[in-house]
Amino acid sequence: MKPLWVAGLLAVASALAIGLSKREIGPGQEQAGNAQQLPLHAKRMSATDLEFSGDVPGSQAYDGMYASYGELLGLRQATFTVTDDPNFPVKAELGGVTLDELMQTLHIPDKKTLVAAVCDDGYEAHYSADYRAAHDPLLVLTINGKAPTLVKRSGEEGAYGPYLISHPRFIARYRILSHTEETQIPNGVIELRFLNEDEVLDAIHPRGNFAADAPQIQGYEIAKENCLRCHNAGAYGGLKAGITWSVLGKIARRRPKYFRAYIKDPQAESDYAEMPGFPEYDDATLAALTEYFQTVNTGSGQK
């Protein structure tokens, strides 16, 4: 436990930080048409604090700062009944803040911002501006009126908390080969990261000139939505797998048959595999993924 005076100092420090960042945006630009405020603090005070990070400028200096559960509950809340979220086999009443609302509160621009929701096990879900506009993801703060930390996960150990993300309704917009647009519904979310989408895509875009319908491009589109949740390309993507994009590139080149087989059924390749398999991927889909990862730069000096 921290002594109280430390908490007091921290509160003063974060109030100062907010005061400074407000001054930076100048009078007149401030809080136009949106009176919402989200107080942030510079240190984690509770396991249910939500961390913010990233390099997209906002009106508040949010990088490395935290908001408490109670402060998030103080923002405008959206509520809906969810019936098609696999996390909730029985329909549930969800309440919380939409990612868009949260970004507006911090004055983070919508266009070109990719939101990464980072989980306690290194898993990451990704929300582009297009995805947010189509599916309206919600940072869930209440499940049937209870905090997510108090609600047991269906079919898994532990609770949903501190945060999870859901949607009023999810209708997949597209299919690439046998990959259907996937709903991004992480739980155990501890951090939201605001990134420049172009920079993330630049880190994983296939090197070389390929037609829009080339397998390398199709594989890339699937990989950025699927593999990037657990496998990282340098600073971007999930750390859950602990196997980087360039190592996947090496495997795709040196052992393409194993690479394809692992994606489809990891447990058939290794007794210890924890990666979920993708049995729905047909040969063309597995080939596209393999051809894409073969373009990934694996040379030294790469992240």
Query: Least separation, in Å, of the C-beta of 292 and ligand HEC?
Result: 9
Q: Which is nearer to ligand HEC, 139 or 204 (CB)?
A: 204
84 vs 274, beta carbon nearer ligand HEC = 274
Q: Does 274 bind ligand HEC (CB under 6 A)?
A: yes
Best CA proximity match to 2, nearest among 30, 50, 42, 61: 42
C-beta separation of 60 from 39 below 8 A: no
Which two structure tokens, joined as six digits, stand for 9?
Answer: 């100092």
**Do 249 and 283 touch, CB atoms closer than 8 A?**
no
- Which residue in 86, 145, 234, 276 binds ligand HEC (CB under 6 A)? 276
Q: Report if residue 259 touches ligand HEC, rule: CB under 6 A.
A: yes
Chain positions 217 to 256 lying near ligand HEC, rule: CB under 6 A, are 223, 226-227, 229-231, 240-241, 243, 248, 251
Cβ of residue 263: shortest distance to ligand HEC, in angstroms?
A: 5
| Residue type for position 55 | D
Q: Is 117 in the site for ligand HEC (CB under 6 A)?
A: no
Of 126, 164, 262, 298, the one binding ligand HEC (CB under 6 A) is: 262
Which amino acid type is present at position 142? T
How many CB atoms neighbour CB 278 within 10 A?
A: 19
- Could you give the CA distance from residue 224 to residue 131 in angstroms, rounded to a whole number? 13
The whole-angstrom separation of Cα 13 and Cα 32 is: 25
Which one of 133, 268, 273, 284 is in contact with ligand HEC (CB under 6 A)? 273
Within 10 angstroms of residue 123's Cβ, the number of other Cβ atoms is: 18
Residues that bind ligand HEC (CB under 6 A): 223, 226-227, 229-231, 240-241, 243, 248, 251, 259, 262-263, 266, 273-276, 289
